A and B are shown apart, each in its own frame.
Chain A
């Protein structure tokens, strides 16, 4: 089958593995997985040319549920691993997936510098404002007054604002999506993959177990009332003044991505290893 025929034949199912997700029934991450497979079918990159890298957490299980290359890495270090992969194999389409704890706390510094480097990656964060896998602790995006037994009265700490941080740090594409809108989310992910440089997509993905009140998000989200801008100042103003439920592409910049060498490396793994010999 030639490349064109193969691309035509790609469907979301082409990107699914035989493993079944172990997430809680009702979790938003099911939809995000579906959106990722739809987006990959839309951009028509075959699974063997896609790598999905993740850290630790519920949402970081996504690589195993796809038929793409996957790397379920170290907590908070998904972006570091993905950056290395993309630089070594610029021919690959590299997606990074994870949650708010993994990406903004444990991996917070990697997040800043991945935005700054602007390597051509698509970073998909499933944000549920809680550490779900470890049973419901407050995460960087948890509201300061979220009261539970593990943080009585709330943490009192201002919530991290990932979109503003991404924009200020140099991400070239900034979007917010909602897990309850799998087709819209797939469109945004496809746009992020196609956009050169570092694309950051924050997906509001309810945790129905530890934050059941997030079921109400489906009433709160609404399409962003404005078109994407390439002006970071305007984008920053929009993002800092919106209600946190605007969904859509909020910024699509024109910064040059981190330069990558052309083509597929011709060396063998042994040649690569030799480069690191002391």
Chain B
């Protein structure tokens, strides 16, 4: 079977009232502790397409969960526009996960293969770090975050395509790498449609921090 996930076109055309510049939110996560076995690039690499697709499923599921968490957090802080955007992202990633389940004929999430995952850092490459959001962030920031996630995912699949030990896994990794590359372009196109935030976007005249 050839693994694929249908692209889901961006549906939001966010309108942002002011123009601010991204700073913290959306910046790619710096590398935390490395988990991949040093000196052995193939360590922890999926041996079969089945194993590979389990990893892909985990990536999509965890990304969807994190976007949903972000959407909830933004809703609670009345940042509705960004909440809506994150909710859409969660739906998109959930669809990807569902497609993998359907294509693989899985009725329930299979267990991760022993010794996996072996991605760098603590979380799957497509998962946004929990601390890279801000209650005043704007749609542009959310898209920056999504862009960084898709770029990490593309790099992850590119690495797998290089180090995979079998042709079938290599082929599957290349297919998903290509999809992630398309997602990168989609997010970039989406970003072009929303205003860039001003430099003082995080300024709050009534900040939560008394110590400011």
Contact = CB atoms under 8 A, between A and B. Distances in A.
Interface of A: 20-28, 30-31, 34, 135-136, 148-150, 178-184, 206, 208-210, 215, 218-219, 221-223
Contacts of B74: 25
A223 B186 CA distance: 37
A149 B211 contact: yes
A179 B130 contact: yes
Contacts of A183: 122-123
Contacts of B31: 219
A143 B208 CA distance: 22
Among A25, A149, A184, A218: residue with most chain B CB under 10 A:
A25
A interface secondary structure, majority:
loop
A215 B134 CA distance: 13
Given A21-B76, A25-B135, A136 B130 contact: no
A183 B112 CA distance: 12
Interface of B: 29-33, 65, 69-70, 72-77, 122-123, 129-135, 137, 208-211
B interface secondary structure, majority:
loop
Contacts of B73: 20-21, 23-26, 30
Contacts of B30: 218-219
B131 A221 contact: no
A258 to B, nearest CB: 35
Given A26-B133, A34-B69, A178-B122, A218 B208 contact: no
A30 B65 CA distance: 11
A148 B211 CA distance: 6
A26 B33 contact: no
Contacts of A20: 72-73, 75-76
A78 B85 CA distance: 38
Contacts of A25: 70, 73-74, 77, 133-135, 137
A105 to B, nearest CB: 19
B80 to A, nearest CB: 13
A31 B130 contact: yes
Contacts of A136: 209-211
Nearest to A134: B210
